Amino acid sequence: MVSRERDDGMTASNYLARHTRQGVEDIYAAFVVFLWCIMNFESCVALVSAICATFFFNFYDFGEQYFAAKLSWTFAALAVVFPLTHEIKQAFNRREMALRAFAEVKSHLVTIYLAHANWGWGKNGEGRKNIPAGHVERVAQDMEELAHMLCAYLTLPMVTRARNLFTHEGKTERNAQIPVQQYFFGQIYVGMRKLSLKNEVMKKAGMAAVEASRINQYQQKVLHGLETLHNIKEYRTPQATRSFARVFIHLMPWLYGPYFVWVAHTLHTERHAISAFLFSLVLSISTEIAMVGLYNVQRALQVSAACSFS
C-alpha cells in the first residue's frame, strides 16, 4: 500500500479519504439498486399482504390461546427460494449466451466488411480494380440496415409472459406484436441475402472461390449468432417455475403468519409487548420484500439488453 501511495503521489490521509468516499458511494449505489428492485406494484401488494397477515394473526380472536407456532422454513425454501435461485441462474446463463451471440455477430460482420474492403487477389492485389465502384460503401450500408433491424427486433416488447397467454388484454398485445417481430426478423434475413449477393460480386470480379467460401463461412457464423438471439428472444425460462414461485411469494405471509405471532409472543412481556409486535411486523415485511426483490431480479435478467452497433 505504501508503494502505491508513493506511485500515485498521494498522502496516507488522501488515500484513506478517497477509499472512504468510494466505500460510501458503493453503499449508496447498493441502496439505489435495492430500491429499484423493489419499487413496483408487486412489491406494494406484497407489503400490504405482509402487514395485513401480521395484524390478523396477532389480533384476531382465536380463543384463549394465540394462533402461534414455531414453523420450519423448509417449505419456504422449496416453494420460493429454490425456484427463484434456479430462475436467476438460468436467466443469468441466458444473458451470458446472448452476450456471446452479440459478440459473434458483431465480430463476424466486421470481418466480412474487412474482406470486402481490403482483400485483394491477383498480382499485387490488382484484381480489386474489377470491383464495381461504391461496392464497399454498399456493403457498409447493408450492414447498417441489418444492425438496425436486429436492434429493432431485440428491443420489441416481450410477449411471452403468463398474462399474454391467459388474459384478454395480454392475448391482444401478443397477437399485435407477433407480426411485428416476424417482420423485423424477416428483414434481418433480407439483409443477410444482400450480403451474400455482395459476395457474388466479388467472385465475378475475379476473387478465388476459396476466398469466397471463407466469407460464406463468416456469414454462416453470423446466422448462427442471429438464430441464438432469436431463440433467446422468443423462448424464456419455464413459465411454470416462475408462476409457482410468484404465487407462493404472495401466500407466504398468510402461511407463515403464526410464525411471526410466535416471534412476537416469545419476546412478549407487558413492558415490551408493542416492541415485540413491531419487530415481528418488520420481520414479516422484510421477508416478503426480500422474496419479491429476488423475483424482480430474475425478471430483469429475462429482458434482453438493448444492443448498440457502431
DSSP label of 126: G
* Residue 264 to residue 67: CA distance in whole angstroms: 11
pTM: 0.80
* Residue 163 to residue 178: CA distance in whole angstroms: 15
Q: How far is CA 10 from the centre of its chain?
A: 40
Shortest CA distance to 84 belongs to which of 306, 304, 301? Answer: 301
Return the C-alpha cell found at 87. 430462475
Shortest CA distance to 89 belongs to which of 240, 228, 250, 241? Answer: 241
Largest Cα separation within the chain, whole Å, is 102
Q: Are residues 300 and 65 in contact, defined by beta-carbon separation less than 8 angstroms?
A: no
* Residue 56 to residue 254: CA distance in whole angstroms: 9
Shortest CA distance to 119 belongs to which of 191, 198, 212, 223? Answer: 212
pLDDT at position 308 is: 43
Q: Are residues 303 and 236 in contact, defined by beta-carbon separation less than 8 angstroms?
A: no
149 to 153, 181, 185, 307: CA distances (angstroms): 6, 10, 7, 11
pLDDT at position 2 is: 45
Q: What is the pLDDT along the chain (310 residues), one digit of tens a residue?
A: 444 444 455 688 888 888 999 999 999 999 999 998 888 898 999 999 999 999 999 888 777 677 888 899 999 888 888 888 888 888 888 889 999 999 999 999 999 999 999 998 877 778 888 899 999 999 999 999 999 999 999 988 888 888 888 899 999 999 999 999 999 999 999 999 999 999 999 999 888 889 999 999 999 999 999 999 998 888 877 788 888 888 999 999 999 999 998 888 886 665 567 888 899 999 999 999 999 998 888 888 776 444 444 4
* Residue 189 to residue 179: CA distance in whole angstroms: 15
* Residue 224 to residue 233: CA distance in whole angstroms: 14
User: Residue ranges of the domains in the chain?
Assistant: 1-39, 41-302
* Residue 21 to residue 25: CA distance in whole angstroms: 6
Write down the residue that cell numbers 403464526 correspond to: 258
Shortest CA distance to 58 belongs to which of 250, 279, 248, 249? Answer: 279
* Residue 280 to residue 292: CA distance in whole angstroms: 18
* Residue 76 to residue 74: CA distance in whole angstroms: 5
Q: Please list, in sequence order, all residues whose beta carbon lies within 8 angstroms of the beta carbon of residue 26, skipping any fewer than 6 positions away.
A: none
pLDDT at position 8 is: 55
pLDDT at position 305 is: 47
DSSP label of 224: H
Write down the residue that cell numbers 407487558 correspond to: 270
pLDDT at position 117 is: 92
